Amino acid sequence: MSVAEQLEHEGLSSDEESQIFDAIDKWLERDVRPVVKKYDHSDEYPHDIVDQMKEMGLFGAIIDQKYGGLGMSAATYSKLVIRITEVWMALTGIFNSHLIMATLVQRFGTQYQKEYFLPKFASGELRGGLGLTEPNAGTDLQSIRTKAIKSGEEYIIDGTKTWISNGIEGTCFALLVKTDTHIKPAHKGMSFFIVEKGDGFTVSKRLEKLGYKSIDSAELVFQEFKVPKQNLVCGEEGQGFYQAAGGLEIGRINVAARGVGIASAALKDSIRYSQERHTFGKPIHKHQAIQLKLADMATKTEAARLLVMQAAEAYDKGDRCDMEAGMAKYFASEAAVDCSLEAMRIHGGYGYSKEFDIERYFRDAPLMCIGEGTNEIQRMIIAKQLIARNPI
């Protein structure tokens, strides 16, 4: 039975969830693990794997079943992301920012937008991501300069976006722009459009990176790019900043889950290696220095996993979860960085070798501290919520 068939009804029993994960695990071991190094080291886009992801319905993982998606809860989705990341983190980037775009439409879109875009997003016919960041504005989104000026039945968009995941291979993006450049505070003049590539939309640069290989990151330029007004998310100007905040929660939970996946992979490899590698007549796990590392890595990984589940469950209940998602994202991404470095130390020289996976975890992990809101910002969100939820 295909993953899509197994998920044909809302809500999964633990048996159904484990059947799906069995199918995912088989796919990861059979089709993904053997080729990860080849793709990562050549920085080549994995078209064949993306086709399989399409067939399995992963581009619709959290899209409602009535629009052709799998209808996964955030909790199930997080577990899926952890599993895939344990084998190859970059794959989850191919569908995560795509699913944030889908979440924006699902939560805030007009009926037309839901009916037109969601089935195409779920099938993978339209794939893409999220266009927030600009050369001059990442964290400080209110400073973006890309603007959309209304002209009859359409908007004309001019500006530049950078670091856009799936910018080359994707065809459709949720674009954050200014529809009013004078209003104060500036966030009241921000709006989202769902845009498909066309005249006036060019990919100006492919960006080279330390890690997160194979997935395309690009600079996008818009020059007199025309978008129908029916593509303005929710049909009302000025809602973009709030919608970004809402959409990013699922993105943060996803990044946190990726952090758990990297930490867990680093731990599993280290547990195995510490039993295989002998020094001074015994396996290295018998040295107390290695035991301390394994214990710290395992504790951080499990704590991160629990924080991700707590955030995902709050999201699924519809509770406010900015603090929970922030804690999960902050802790899990730092755990990924710590565990990948500790795994490298445990593996000695082999940790630095391209023949092992550790060097990839080490290159991929720091992105989790940056993407979907840096960890500095997460800590500020956590602190603000602590005060807001505990007034005296």
Could you tell me if 372 and 251 are in contact, meaning their C-beta atoms sit under 8 angstroms apart? yes
What are the structure tokens assigned to 265, written together? Answer: 């992979």
Q: Tokens 């399409």, residue? A: 54
List the interface residues with ligand FAD, window 220-279 (CB under 6 A): none
Q: Which of 246, 328, 299 is nearest to 75 (CA)?
A: 328
Tell whether residue 379 is a contact of ligand FAD (CB under 6 A): no
Among 286, 374, 382, 385, binds ligand FAD (CB under 6 A): 374
Which stretches within the chain are classed as H helix? 3-6, 14-27, 36-42, 47-55, 74-87, 89-108, 111-123, 240-276, 288-317, 322-346, 358-370, 375-389
Strand partners, 194: 174
**What CA–CA distance (Å, rounded) separates 230 from 219?**
25
**What CA–CA distance (Å, rounded) separates 85 from 215?**
14
Task: Identify the helix (H) or strand (E) that includes residue 135.
Answer: none
By annotation, the residues acting in catalysis are: 372
**What CA–CA distance (Å, rounded) separates 96 from 81?**
9
CB of 127 to ligand FAD, least distance (A): 13
Could you tell me if 261 and 82 are in contact, meaning their C-beta atoms sit under 8 angstroms apart? yes
State whether residue 294 is helix, strand or coil.
helix
**What CA–CA distance (Å, rounded) separates 69 from 8?**
9
Count of residues of this chain found to bind ligand FAD when the rule CB under 6 A is applied: 21
3-state secondary structure labels for all residues of 83-121 = HHHHHCHHHHHHHHHHHHHHHHHHHHCCHHHHHHHHHHH
Pairing of strands 201-206, 172-178: unpaired
> x/- string (CB under 6 A) for ligand FAD, residues 119-158?
----------xxxxx----xxx------------------
- Closer Cβ to ligand FAD, 200 or 366, answer by number: 366
Instruction: Give how far the C-alpha of residue 279 lies from the chain's centroid of Cα atoms, to the nearest Å.
Output: 40
- Closer Cβ to ligand FAD, 144 or 266, answer by number: 144
Tell whether residue 370 is a contact of ligand FAD (CB under 6 A): yes
Tell whether residue 78 is a contact of ligand FAD (CB under 6 A): no
**Other beta carbons less than 10 A from residue 385's beta carbon:** 17
- Closer Cβ to ligand FAD, 141 or 267, answer by number: 141
- Closer Cβ to ligand FAD, 345 or 384, answer by number: 384
Among 376, 383, 384, 388, binds ligand FAD (CB under 6 A): 376
- Closer Cβ to ligand FAD, 139 or 275, answer by number: 139
- Which DSSP state fits 30? I
CB of 1 to ligand FAD, least distance (A): 33
Among 165, 179, 243, 301, binds ligand FAD (CB under 6 A): 165
Among 23, 156, 183, 377, binds ligand FAD (CB under 6 A): 377
Tell whether residue 163 is a contact of ligand FAD (CB under 6 A): yes
- Which DSSP state fits 207? P
Tell whether residue 164 is a contact of ligand FAD (CB under 6 A): yes
Span of 120-128, 163-171, 230-238, 297-305 interacting with ligand FAD by CB under 6 A: 163-171
- Closer Cβ to ligand FAD, 209 or 286, answer by number: 209
> x/- string (CB under 6 A) for ligand FAD, residues 188-227?
---------------------x--x----x----------
Tell whether residue 367 is a contact of ligand FAD (CB under 6 A): yes
Q: Tokens 């990984």, residue? A: 301
Among 76, 78, 92, 97, binds ligand FAD (CB under 6 A): 97
Binding site for ligand FAD (CB under 6 A): 97, 129-133, 138-140, 163-165, 209, 212, 217, 367, 370-371, 374, 376-377
